[in-house]
Amino acid sequence: MPTTKRSNPSVPAKAASKLFSTIKGGVLAPLGFVGGVAACGIKNGKATRDDLALIASTTLSAAAGTFTTNKVKAAPVLVSMENIRNGFATGVILNSGNANACTGEEGLTVAWGMAEAAAGHLDASKEDVLVCSTGRIGVQLPLDRVKKGLDGMQLFRKVGTQLAKSIMTSDTFPKEIALAVKTPQGTFRIGAMAKGAGMIDPTMATMLCVVTCDAEVSSVTLRKTLRKVVENSFNRITVDGDMSTNDTVIMLANGRSGVNPDESILEAAMEHVCVALARIIVLDGEGVSKFVEIEVRGANTAKDAKLAAEAVANSTLVKCAWAGNDPNWGRIMDALGYSGAKMEEARTSIDYGGLPIVRQGVLAPTPWSKLRAVAAGKQFRITIDLGYGVYAHEVWTTDLTEEYVRLNLGE
């Protein structure tokens, strides 16, 4: 059989991973980054938990970002897209409790106001501050509460986990990671935090993520590498198939380590961090009881592989079957058939946890009890071979439970 061509990389990631070691500190692990949090009561006026975060570099950083492709973009997304255009930034201000989306001109004024207030706190220009918001859509964000929170905020080195907690919404735990990366030139560090649990779908899920790095990287390299890494991490996850208005991934690299790493090593480190956070987001999905890896191989084109994998991963029927511990392969075949990918029933084979369930379009002789045992697991892998070509794609998804419905009934 020909070698499978995957739309995800990568030999460099596996080889370079030997250079990584996990360290503490989260998004503030790299040199030259500080942060602070505040309880502002942004959602309802009750300052009972931290809901504002500020991350800053002590020097101007190379900056890159990827943003939602939804035609409805929140005000902070528009501000960040504008400010990151020149490839540099000093800091990022983030809030939970209010998405500042679908809020018109007033919302845009507020987002610029957040950038300006944070810039004043950092003695920087508002054009060098990026803005992220998460929470309910269609509600005006109270800028006065943000400013009050900033007034009393102090910036420290060791508050990484507090920063990650402050941007949680329906998340059940803070999501963060940090690595030390050894290179022939020396060691650099990369850290990150993220939030996300619902409205998760490929092409940027409903999530916020900030990645920091103390390596020397040009803005051009950072932009190119981040786009590639996001495609292979956050753009491979889905919980409910809904794309948000606020999706943002931002990366800052300030060069404080003095290490200018090989591009392949930088990419591998970034991918390791982003893949880890992407998988954690799915594991913490709203109402989730299962983590499911969908791999489509044998596709005629890379596009076909992606279409097929995403159709299965987002199928409500398939996800409900998983919630009931049912390895319902008919629903998978159905999703493949409408996916838009080139496929024929008689060419298609499917495995559940490595066990054959379909061969050339018909039921395989594997005992049903063994297949049900796989589907009853908290984590399993489904492999689909379309029998056409050498292209493959992988998506990480979940089941769909009653708890998800309860969580999304609204207030």
3 state SS of 56: strand
CB distance 132 to 250 below 8 Å: yes
Report how far apart the first and last C-alpha atoms of the chain are (Å, whole number): 54
Give the integer Cα–Cα distance in Å for 375 and 395: 17
Query: What is the bridge-based pairing of β-strands 175-183 and 186-195?
Result: antiparallel
Residue partners of 144: CB distance under 8 A and separation at least 6: none
What is the tally of helices (H) and strands (E) in the chain? 12, 16
CB distance 314 to 323 below 8 Å: no
Both structure tokens of 182: 């050894």
> Given 66, 206, 248, 348, which residue is catalytic?
206
Q: What is the DSSP string of 200-222?
A: --SSS-S-EEEEEE-S---HHHH
Residue partners of 268: CB distance under 8 A and separation at least 6: 10, 12, 13, 14, 15, 16, 17
206 is catalytic: yes
Both structure tokens of 333: 């075949």
CA-wise closest residue to 292 among 329, 237, 246: 237
Per DSSP, 4 falls in state: P
Both structure tokens of 256: 């404080």
Hey, which residues are catalytic here?
A: 206
